[in-house]
Structure 1
Amino acid sequence: MKYLYLFFAVTFLTPLFSSAQSNYKPGYLVTLKGDTLKGYIDYKEWIQNPRGVNFKTNVGANQTSYSIDNCNAFGANGLEYYRRYILPISQDKVQASNLTIGVDTTTTTDTVFLKTVTSGKNITLLTYNDGIKRRFFIAENNSTAIELIQHLYLDPQETSRIVTQKTYTRQLQQLAAKYQPQDDKLIKDIPAIDYSEKDIATIAYKINGETNYATVQSATGSATRFFVGLALNDAVSKFTTSNAIGSNASSAFPQITFGTDILINKNVGDLLVRLEFGVTGNKANYSFNGQDANSTTYTTLKYNQSTGFFNPQLLYNFYNTSASKVYIAIGTQLNYSTYTNKSYSTRYTLSGGYSQISDDVFPDIKSFFVNVTGKVGYVINNKLDIYAGYNPSTRINDNSGFSITTSSLKIGINYLFGSK
């Protein structure tokens, strides 16, 4: 139990001791007065469009915070570019569980920073994500941006059916006819595209013409790296009967892991999705005394457990430099176990000393079970990942009258190779 307390103490205190990380990149900022300032932008992993940014005129200067109230545009050179707009923004949901019956055309006018996806001589494609959904906008020749509209809703006549209203295809067809009137194929192909950055950017590219197309997506996209690792897994199992009699068992086994990390933004590297595969084991040996009528009982239950698992995790680096990183990860682990050397028996001893052993029916232990996972780790030079992990107690049997649970504490090291 003391290891569990230590694990959670480290998990929750790490963010407090880790200073907020800055990631200054060469860039620029345009004030509302139209002044262009060259310097350094604190470039973040913006899952949603930012409403402000920190700026320095040089690396050693104090930072100044800018927001939509005093900034017209900013960018990190070769990475991401944002521009301030005041415009109506659709508010309808896109998750199936939140769809309305009939189309919802509600909009709200807001001042926001739109991110540039592509820019050319005719149109600029921009995007905005506020947590409700991701939207795309088109600005012609630096004019006011217009949202490319897509509505999802439930059919009023058949509420189990989802209707997709692709207004954006007509909007893009009009732009294609205006700027590339000779390209009949382009106009015919547009109705088949999805409301995705890849598809819409391809159309924007063709509307602008090849020689005038620019993109920052390749510079700011995701990246992958791989890892292999070895850990010591200390499994703690508990066998408990209905009358609260029970026994604990603990065993340490090696754990072999390998997998892939997906960096959401390769130029920041704060947020990752880790796909981890591994194998480990557990040797459980329970024994306890009890009382049954006029006899004393001595119960033993034994088994060897071999487990293969898949553990997708969300990993966040609270401290992130090229030399070292400190992270916390949470995940959901899918386990498949096989059991060997199984035995379950009870010895009954009467007051006169007579004893008898009874072989009991071995518990119905699950082959497949799911548990949550947590880790804290320290990465050195983007190569060595040293971590401690904990899997909370999970029941692994289906029998009534007693339960078998297992938890684990582990320490390990991974070797990382590929992207930083």
Structure 2
Amino acid sequence: MKKSLMKNAVIGLMALLFCSSLAGQIEFKPGYLINLNGQKQECLIKDQDWKDNPESFTYKLGAAEEVREGNLDQVLEFGLGEEVRFVAVTVGMDRASDLVNDLTLGRNPDLQLEKLFLRIELSGKATLYSYRGENLIRFFFSVDGSPVEQLVYKRYRMNSMMKIGYNTAYRQQLWNQMRCPEAKFAQLESVAYTRNSLVRYFLKYNNCTGSGETTKFVQQDRKERYRLKVTPGINYSSLQVGENLGYRYSFDTDFGRKVNFRLGLEAEVLLPFNGGKWGLVLEPTFQYYRSDVIRDQETEPTKAHYQFIDFPVGPRYYMFLSDERKLFIDVLYISNFSINFSKSGIFFPTPPYQRTLNIFTRNSFALGGGMDLNDKYSLELRYYLNREIIGDYIRWDSTYTRWALIVGYRFFAPGG
């Protein structure tokens, strides 16, 4: 019953944090769209930090206006700030998979006409576009306003033995339509089918042809892509141990609830999509539990001494309230790997049942939620689900659960 109540309380906490944040999240940012009549409209666009190219987007004509949807049938172009530009283009694109197990036979691309929102990576005399989808990335180009074409690159199966071939026709396309004076074809061997490599080539071409201004649209990297925090806190822990065969002499022992100190070092990586709302967390943490109890008909205390370092890892989701404040929830996996100190164990001192149970942990999970302030300080309430700590003993069971109140202080972030 107690376990069920605790789990329900945690689930309720997560739901409350999520629902209370929805109204306050920062989602719409200044942008523009160009409609089918060529008219440009300033608007507020929902910033979804697009990893894949969208088929539609959400916008408002003013802060108090209704939310609308823009799509390929209504919009020629839209942009967000000085970083993002998408343009609607009808173009031939090859959708052959680049995954090794799904490669097709034959080197030639299967170009099918599609209407797409292409991201503008760089514009000028020569303009570079990109398209990203599931297991798919393609680059496109145009020169002096010519029709947009795909830069062709394809991995393919040369035979049934899975020998892989490479169609690098994009290099010939660049040579035919975009080469600087005195250039040599061999120089194109260093141009890879990647965004950074192609951007460098397009910049070089636009500069060497004296074509005037070139604009590169690059989303600003958030300063805190990588973070390190020290995470001290307090655990409120409980432990019960019991033998599960029903012997006459009862080993069922409740060691009670204890308040103990914990200390962690949290490393977090913010994932490069969805507006920095998702992170991946790893937090090596030193924790301990110590309790001595005198059981019925015994004179010496039965002892539980458990000192360990575990390694919770899992996703974290942020919900923005303002530029300075955000709520977060996380779900952490705790593997059976932990560092248990040598003096850890369950000690029964009274003969004839004198024995020591060594610590052998099992997998577990933890659920947490809290608030982050100024990307510097955080406060989190976390619940650790039951973790079996004497799992290598067939006849013994344990129930070890914890609540933790954790204070975080970020002491390192590149550029932060």
Distance 1:238 1:202 in 2: 63
> SS of the residue aligned with 2:91?
strand
Residue 314 of structure 1 deviates from its aligned partner by 2.3
Aligned pair count? 396
Residue aligning to 2:143: 140
Question: 1:238-288 deviations in whole A, cap 9, x for unaligned?
Answer: 535443775454443222233444444599432333343432223366898
Change (3 A) 1:63 1:362: closer
Q: Could you list the per-position Cα deviations for residues 216-257 of structure 1 after superposition, in whole angstroms to 9, with x for gaps in the alignment?
A: 225256743443332222344453544377545444322223
Give the Cα separation in 2 of the matches to 1:106 and 1:284: 70
Give the match for residue 6 of structure 1. 9
Following superposition, the deviation at residue 82 of structure 1 comes to 0.8
Higher share of residues assigned strand? 1
> Per the alignment, do residues 362 and 226 of structure 1 end up closer, same or farther by CA in structure 2, a change over 3 Å counting?
closer
- The alpha-carbon distance between structure 1 residues 341 and 326, as it changes in their structure 2 partners (threshold 3 A), is closer
Q: Which residue identity lines up with residue 141 of structure 1 in the other structure?
A: D
For 1:401 and 1:83, how far apart are their aligned partners in 2? 67
Query: What is the CA-CA distance between 1:358 and the residue it aligns to?
Result: 3.9
User: In the superposition, relative to structure 1, how do residues 146 and 220 fare at CA in structure 2: closer, same or farther (>3 Å)?
Assistant: farther
Q: Is the 8 A contact 1:84 1:114 kept in 2?
A: yes
User: What is the deviation of 1:92?
Assistant: 3.5
In the TM superposition, what are the counterparts of 1:375-394 in structure 2 within 5 Å?
375-394=368-387
Q: In the alignment, which residue of structure 2 is the partner of 1:401?
A: 395
Q: Does the 8 A contact of 1:382 with 1:416 survive in 2?
A: yes
Change (3 A) 1:57 1:284: same
The change in CA–CA distance for 1:59 and 1:362 in structure 2 (over 3 A counts) is closer
- Cα distance in 2 for partners of 1:153, 1:320 equals 48
Separation in structure 2 between the aligned mates of residue 143 and residue 408 of structure 1, nearest angstrom: 64
In 1, Cα distance between the equivalents of 2:102 and 2:303? Answer: 52
| Contact 1:115 1:126 (C-alpha < 8 Å) held by counterparts | yes
Structure 2 counterparts to residues 317-328 of structure 1, below 5 A: 317-328=318-329
Q: Which moved more, 1:318-327 or 1:27-36?
A: 318-327
Contact 1:222-1:265 within 8 A present in 2 as well: no
CA distance in structure 2 between the aligned counterparts of 1:151 and 1:324, rounded to whole angstroms: 45
1:175 alignment partner, SS class? helix
Would you say 1:272 and 2:272 are equivalent positions?
no
Deviations 1:279-303 (A, max 9, x none): 22233668989xxxxxx9x995633
RMSD in angstroms over aligned alpha carbons?
3.7
Deviation by residue 1:190-233 (Cα, 9 ceiling, x = unmatched):
33454432223222322333764432225256743443332222
Q: Which amino acid aligns with 1:207?
A: Y
The residue that corresponds to 1:131 in the other structure is 134
Deviation for aligned residue 1:57: 3.9
Once the two structures are TM-superposed, the CA of residue 109 in structure 1 deviates from its matched residue by 4.6
Alignment of 1:324-363 (within 5 A): 324-333=325-334, 335-339=337-341, 340-345=343-348, 347=350, 356-360=351-355, 362-363=357-358
Superposed counterparts of 1:137-176, under 5 Å = 137-152=140-155, 156-159=159-162, 163=164, 165-167=165-167, 169-176=168-175
Residue segments in structure 2 that go unaligned for 5+ positions in a row: none
Query: What displacement does 1:10 show?
Result: 1.5
CA distance in 1, matches of 2:112, 2:17: 39
Are the counterparts in 1 of residues 310 and 334 from structure 2 also a CA contact under 8 Å?
Answer: no
1:151-300 mapped onto 2 (5 Å cutoff): 151-152=154-155, 156-159=159-162, 163=164, 165-167=165-167, 169-184=168-183, 187-209=185-207, 212-217=213-218, 219-220=220-221, 223-224=224-225, 225-243=227-245, 246-249=252-255, 250-264=257-271, 268-283=275-290, 300=302
Q: Conserved in 2, the CA contact under 8 Å of 1:176 and 1:207?
A: no
Equivalent residue for 1:374, pick from 343, 367, 378 = 367
Alpha-carbon offset, residue 373 of structure 1? 3.4
1:62 Cα deviation (Å)? 4.2
Question: Where does residue 309 of structure 2 map in the other structure?
Answer: 307
Per-residue CA deviations over 1:358-382 (Å, capped at 9, x if unaligned) read 443634625xx65443321122344
Deviation at 1:100, TM superposition (A): 4.5
Letter of the structure 2 residue corresponding to residue 398 of structure 1: D
- Please state how far the C-alpha of 1:175 moved relative to its aligned partner: 1.2
Q: Describe the shift of the 1:390–1:364 C-alpha distance in structure 2 as closer, same or farther (beyond 3 A).
A: closer
Q: Percent identity?
A: 16
Aligned partners of 1:41 and 1:53 also within 8 Å: yes
| Structure 1 residue identity aligned to 2:261 | P
1:181 deviates by: 4.5
* 1:414 pairs with one of 401, 408, 412: 408
Q: Secondary structure at the match of 2:8?
A: helix
One-letter identity of the residue aligned with 2:207: G
Secondary structure of the residue aligned to 1:217 is coil
Provide the TM-score with structure 2 as the length reference. Answer: 0.79
Is residue 365 of structure 1 aligned with residue 368 of structure 2? no
Structure 1 portions without partners, runs of 5+: 290-295, 348-355
Secondary structure of 2:134's counterpart equals coil
Show the counterpart of 2:27: 23
Matching residue's letter, 1:191: E
Q: Distance in 2 between matches of 1:344 and 1:121?
A: 78
Contact 1:373–1:391 (Cα < 8 Å) also in 2: yes
Contact 2:153 2:170 in 1 (8 A): no
SS in 1 for 2:22: coil
TM-score (norm 1): 0.78
Please tell me whether residue 117 in structure 1 is matched to residue 117 in structure 2: no
